[in-house]
Structure 1
Amino acid sequence: MKINISIHKQQLDLLNDDEQVIKHYRISSAKNGTGQQNGSYCTPLGKHIIRAKIGSGQPINTVFVRRRPTGEIYTPDLGYRYPNRDWILTRILWLSGCEPGFNRLGPVDTMQRYIYIHGSPDSVEMGKPGSIGCIRISNDNLLELFDSVPTGTAVNIIR
């Protein structure tokens, strides 16, 4: 398995071992565009792997803060009460860069920037940038993707 993410298309493609696309998913990348630098709130480019899969067995819409379930389940009412929260829901695929000096180590390290593929509220529009660096995906699509890929899966993020 392999994942290709196109920022331009706002699309995540899941590929099999023969490089054939199995599934397309609409995503939402960073509203600040692409970039490697820590603190930029941009989506990093380049070759990555899924370093960790977090949230297995948690209910859909589980709220995560610092990669830990908070005990909350997201509802529109919860979203209304906390309008400025960056909602990380359901599951987390934590990315790690593979290119030293570009997206690995130092001030450009994707993993130390806490860049994930993660679930979002249903009200978040997919197909257009809006995150603060991560790749957002619908919860249903994330559940499917989470169950399809092992830790170590290659993830290539391109413009």
Structure 2
Amino acid sequence: MVKRPCERLGTVLTRYLLTVSVRQQALRLWEREQPGEAERLALRGATGRYYRLVRRYRCSTSKFGIGQVAGSNCTPLGWHRIARKIGGGWPVGTVFKSRQPVGFTWKGMPGAAIATRILWLEGLEPGFNRGGDVDTFRRYIYIHGTGDEPTLGRPASHGCIHLAADDLIPLYERLPVGTLVWIGEW
């Protein structure tokens, strides 16, 4: 499942893999391991390695459903990678506007749409989530914190993937730019 898309898209397997289930409103962190390790996902890499489930997180995807087109406010499907990381070193709850800290923290205020850290996604599938009016990166689709954490576990965003600050910060610190991300309907 991972090797073929990587070959087709001209990218390489990464140490970590994020998967996002729109139906389950869950984000999973996987790490490459040798065969025989616990909780293997049936994802074979080019070297015969497997991905091992590290952790499952509650998330929120779009309240408008799934879709690729700019202006739809939908969560895009398919293969992506983390293109940029924004917010390292800022206090937990820092509010961002246009990817810049605005000088205050959300402290539980639901109006803080983008908070704590940003993992900016780039689509890898030309014509599906990359290029033209379906370009995930130009749609500003992120994995980011939210000021409305009680909505986690149900669709609530305008296309992005929301996580709790306590979950996002360790992911931000662990995952390098280039980490593969699969967003699916299951």
**TM norm. shorter chain > 0.5:** yes
Higher relative contact order (CA 8 A, sep 6+): 1
Match of 1:4 in 2: 19
Gaps of 5+ in 1: none
What residue number does 2:150 align with?
124
- Paired residue secondary structure (2:168): helix
Choose which of 52, 58, 65 in structure 2 pairs with 1:33. Answer: 65
Q: How far does the alpha carbon of each residue in 1:65-120 deviate from its partner, in whole angstroms, 9 at most, with x for none?
A: 000100111124xx3xxx6x451000000000000000000000000000000001
User: Using the alignment, how far apart are the partners of 1:102 and 1:116 within structure 2?
Assistant: 17
Task: Return the letter of the residue paired with 1:40.
Answer: S
Identity %: 47
5+ residue gaps, structure 2: 1-15, 33-49
- Work out the number of aligned pairs and report it: 153
TM-score by length of 1: 0.93
Secondary structure of the corresponding residue to residue 173 of structure 2? helix
Q: Which runs of 4+ in 1 moved over 4 A?
A: none
- Residue 157, structure 1, aligned to residue 157, structure 2: no
Number of the residue aligned with 2:104: 72
Q: For residues 28-67 of structure 1, what are the structure 2 equivalents within 5 Å?
A: 28-67=60-99
Counterpart in the other structure of 1:103: 129
Deviations 1:26-63 (A, max 9, x none): 00000000000000000000000000000000000000
Deviations 1:107-141 (A, max 9, x none): 00000000000001254321100000000000110
Do the aligned partners of 1:3 and 1:154 also contact (CA within 8 Å) in 2? Answer: yes
1:112 aligns with 2:138: yes
Aligned AA (2:27): L
Alignment root-mean-square deviation, CA:
1.2
Q: Cα distance 1:33–1:122, how it changes in 2: closer, same or farther (>3 A)?
A: closer
Contact 2:63 2:74 in 1 (8 A): yes
